[in-house]
Amino acid sequence: MRHLSLKDKLCVAVSSLFGIGWVPLLPGTTASAAGVLVFLLLKNNLLYLIFTFISIVLSFLLSSRAEKIFAEKDSKKIVIDDFSGMLLAMLFIPRTPQFIFCAFFLFRALDMVKIPPADKIEKCPGALGVVGDDLVAGIYANIILHLVRGILAIFS
């Protein structure tokens, strides 16, 4: 990386989730685990919703610039997208170990598989390509978890 301005350093810090992007193995999974930690810490649903919204906005605002700084498309060091997708996956789900565990593994699986339209979105340039596929995976995981929740409610 070239010499960075303060603005670029802040972009790198936030887009890499303060260094998680440099974890040598599975930085996206580590960022997703950080999302689970935030879910466990922010017990108020409104506060969690606001935090998730801010994270998504920051993901879009910073990802394109971070790509340019790292000089590579969808750099593995940019993990705020995985973090935001994981936050979205857990939105309004029950705070039980079973649901949290399923949310984590479901989100990671859907993020890897790239079910349409995630596969097409990932190929888009800039922030949309970096963040969009993770948000789709988060939305799909969230929908599945709420469907399971509804089914369990019917049969209990």
Give a yes or no: residue 78 inside a domain. Answer: yes
Say how many domains are in the chain.
1
Question: What pLDDT shows up at residue 148?
Answer: 97
Query: Average pLDDT of 74-101?
Result: 97
Question: What pLDDT shows up at residue 156?
Answer: 85
SS (H, E, C) the chain: CCCCCHHHHHHHHHHCCCCHHHCCCCHHHHHHHHHHHHHHHCCCHHHHHHHHHHHHHHHHHHHHHHHHHHCCCCCCCCCHHHHHHHHHHCCCCCCCHHHHHHHHHHHHHHHHHCCCCHHHHCCCCHHHHHHHHHHHHHHHHHHHHHHHHHHHHHHC
Here the tokens at position 86 are 């994981």
CA distance 125 to 51: 26
Q: Residue 2 pLDDT > 70, yes or no?
A: no
Give a yes or no: residue 86 inside a domain. Answer: yes
Give a yes or no: residue 35 inside a domain. Answer: yes
Question: What pLDDT shows up at residue 1?
Answer: 56
pLDDT digits (tens, 9 = 90+) for 33-68: 999 999 999 999 999 999 999 999 999 999 999 999
Here the tokens at position 35 are 């999302």
Query: Average pLDDT of 18-31?
Result: 97
Give a yes or no: residue 131 inside a domain. Answer: yes
Give a yes or no: residue 1 inside a domain. Answer: no
If we measure between CA atoms, which residue out of 62, 65, 41, 63 comes closest to residue 51?
41
pLDDT digits (tens, 9 = 90+) for 76-88: 999 999 999 999 9
Give a yes or no: residue 66 inside a domain. Answer: yes
If we measure between CA atoms, which residue out of 101, 152, 11 comes closest to residue 141?
101
pLDDT digits (tens, 9 = 90+) for 103-147: 999 999 999 999 999 999 999 999 999 999 999 999 999 999 999
Where in the sequence is the domain holding 112, given as residue range(s)? 6-155
pTM, rounded to two decimals: 0.96
pLDDT bin (cut points 50, 70, 90) of residue 5 is very high
